[in-house]
């Protein structure tokens, strides 16, 4: 009988520790739950021929994590994402398996629009282009980032030319020529996002793209109305309300990000939301 006493004691201690641990795991911040993955250069020598599997698991983990945040944002619950770890995990996945297209899709979705790290994403895309030599998407993404975010039209033209050659798309050929000029940013953004919405497979990431597409389309319509106002009255409107009172638009549209559209002195349409559902403050940067 005495031999059971240590076992009962151990079980009691285990039960006493298990409940607080479970409560901690359930209530700790979502950002912590992403976890950690060693760098790709280290893992390449430890996972052997399982590189594609480990890479896919890393990408799926990030997608699940980011998807849970999207759901929170839609409920107006702001949880700052752990962008640094997200980026490093995606980078590790690409180093392990540069053929994993989901990793590039996610990098393009999360680290350009949301936190403005197009230059870091372009480094990943350049790495992938060495392997996915048949794929027009990577140079297409890279060209868009170079023009739209970085204002590097020479790089954009070169990459879009490559995308046009690989895809045979006449549209890309036209865009390649236009990328060398600082014009039509919203139009280029809309073309790009329509392509992303059409091709994106993850529904939550697709929804994030669709929201930004809606915002840019509304800005484009407002700026077209501003141009019409300028042609008619030989001046800029004092505010967007003048577009309504002059009958150029029926009403000022709602910003899908919850902000309010307004007119800058130079005639550009902006929003108080800056087209972001999440806070862009974070401790680490990729």
- For strands 261-263 and 269-271, give the pairing: antiparallel
pLDDT confidence bin for 32, thresholds 50/70/90: very low
Q: Residue 115: pLDDT above 70?
A: yes
| Highest mean pLDDT pick, 23-27, 28-32, 231-235 | 231-235
Q: Which long-range contacts (CB under 8 A, 24 or more apart) does 198-206 make?
A: 199/137, 200/105, 200/109, 201/102, 201/105, 202/63, 202/67, 202/102, 202/105, 202/106, 204/63, 204/66, 204/67, 204/70, 204/71, 205/63, 205/66, 205/67, 205/70, 205/105, 205/106, 205/109, 205/110
pTM of the model: 0.60
Residue 219 · residue 187 · CB < 8 Å: no
pLDDT confidence bin for 74, thresholds 50/70/90: low
Backbone angles phi, psi at 37, to 5 degrees: -135, 130
Tell me what the pLDDT averaged over the chain comes to: 77
State percent of the chain over pLDDT 90. Answer: 31
Q: Residue 260: pLDDT above 80?
A: yes
User: Among 55-69, 97-111, 169-183, 260-274, which stretch is predicted with the lowest mean pLDDT?
Assistant: 169-183
Element (H, E) at 14: helix 4-27
Q: Is 239 left (phi over 0), alpha (psi -120 to 50) or beta?
A: beta
Q: For 123-162, what is each residue's pLDDT tens digit?
A: 999 999 999 999 999 999 999 899 889 988 778 878 988 8
Q: Which two tokens stand for residue 97?
A: 């398996």
Q: Residue 1: pLDDT above 90?
A: no
């Amino acid at each position: 009988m005495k031999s059971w006493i240590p076992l009962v004691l151990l079980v009691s201690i285990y039960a006493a520790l298990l409940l607080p641990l479970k409560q901690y795991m359930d209530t700790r911040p979502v950002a912590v739950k992403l976890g950690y993955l060693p760098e790709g250069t280290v893992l390449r020598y430890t996972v052997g021929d399982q590189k594609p599997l480990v890479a896919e698991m890393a990408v799926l983990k990030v997608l699940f994590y980011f998807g849970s945040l999207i759901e929170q944002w839609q409920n107006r619950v702001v949880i700052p994402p752990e962008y640094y770890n997200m980026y490093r995990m995606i980078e590790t996945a690409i180093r392990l398996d540069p053929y994993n297209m989901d990793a590039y899709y996610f990098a393009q979705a999360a680290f350009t629009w949301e936190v403005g790290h197009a230059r870091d994403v372009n480094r990943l895309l350049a790495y992938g282009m060495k392997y996915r030599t048949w794929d027009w998407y990577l140079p297409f993404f890279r060209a868009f980032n170079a023009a739209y975010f970085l204002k590097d039209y020479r790089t954009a033209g070169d990459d879009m030319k490559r995308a046009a050659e690989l895809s045979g798309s006449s549209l890309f050929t036209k865009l390649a020529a236009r990328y060398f000029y600082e014009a039509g940013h919203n139009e280029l953004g809309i073309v790009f996002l329509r392509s992303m919405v059409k091709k994106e497979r993850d529904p939550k990431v697709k929804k994030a793209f669709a929201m930004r597409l809606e915002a840019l389309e509304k800005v484009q319509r407002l700026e077209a109305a501003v141009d019409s106002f300028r042609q008619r009255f030989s001046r800029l409107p004092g505010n967007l309300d003048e577009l309504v009172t002059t009958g150029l638009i029926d009403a000022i549209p709602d910003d899908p990000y919850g902000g309010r559209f307004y007119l800058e002195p130079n005639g550009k349409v902006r929003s108080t939301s800056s087209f972001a559902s999440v806070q862009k403050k974070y401790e680490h940067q990729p």
